[in-house]
């Protein structure tokens, strides 16, 4: 299988959930309020939990706990919300990868850390639209997940040969 064959049809295999597409569209339009966006997000319990967890973290330093999705949407803002929805949606898309190939929690922790560092560097360097660099940082290693998803047996073999992979149960 060559690279073109590997990614052929991948958009169908890893299409983003409807909530991601809806939130992205709503965030671009002045016709929707935080309450409207919150109602869409509330349909996804995982995304709702992540949003509330993030907004109530020390990063935002809220004096009182935020307990509604619409308030959390207001606090995080449209850019932050898009980033969170994208990361959460991407994480959901790749749930079929065998656990012995990659620790998904660690993969996403590493990816988000890379995104945060990229965003911080963009701020330090006065780069316009630094949120794009956050997204690029988060998604920079997504090709590995595509390979693990499409070629799990070959991936397992490569990880074993390289000796640096996860594949502990092989």
What are the C-alpha distances in Å from 98 to residues 78, 93, 108, 139, 150?
A: 34, 13, 15, 20, 11
The CA dihedral of 101, 44, 74, 35, to the nearest 10 degrees, is 170
The reply to whether 105 and 158 lie within a common domain is yes
Specify the DSSP class assigned to residue 1.
-
Residue 118 falls within a domain, yes or no?
Answer: yes
Q: Is 136 exposed, middle or buried (0-12, 13-18, 19+ CB in 10 A)?
A: middle
What confidence tier does 23 reach under pLDDT thresholds 50, 70, 90?
confident
Asked if residue 12 has pLDDT above 70, the reply is: no
Residue 87 falls within a domain, yes or no?
Answer: no
The reply to whether 101 and 66 lie within a common domain is no
What confidence tier does 72 reach under pLDDT thresholds 50, 70, 90?
very high
Residue 123 falls within a domain, yes or no?
Answer: yes
Q: pTM (2 decimals)? A: 0.61
Identify the domain containing residue 135 by its residue range: 94-170
* Sequence-distant (≥ 6) Cβ neighbours of residue 18 within 8 angstroms: none
In angstroms, rounded to a whole number, what is the distance separating the alpha carbons of residues 34 and 160?
48
Tokens 């070629």, located at residue: 151
Higher pLDDT, 88 or 30: 30
């Amino acid at each position: 299988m060559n690279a073109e064959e590997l990614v052929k049809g991948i958009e169908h295999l890893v299409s983003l959930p409807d909530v991601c597409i809806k939130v992205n569209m709503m965030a671009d339009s002045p016709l929707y309020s935080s309450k409207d966006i919150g109602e869409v997000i509330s349909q996804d319990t995982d995304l709702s939990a992540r949003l509330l967890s993030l907004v109530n973290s020390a990063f935002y330093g809220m004096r009182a706990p935020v307990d509604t999705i619409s308030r959390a949407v207001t606090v995080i803002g449209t850019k932050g919300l898009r980033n969170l929805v994208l990361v959460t949606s991407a994480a959901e898309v790749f749930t079929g990868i065998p656990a012995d190939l990659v620790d998904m929690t660690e993969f996403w922790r590493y990816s988000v850390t890379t995104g945060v560092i990229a965003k911080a560097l963009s701020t330090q360097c006065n780069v316009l639209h630094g949120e794009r660099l956050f997204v690029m940082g988060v998604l920079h290693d997504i090709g590995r997940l595509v390979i693990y998803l499409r070629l799990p047996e070959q991936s397992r073999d490569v990880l074993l040969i390289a000796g640096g992979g996860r594949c502990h149960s092989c």
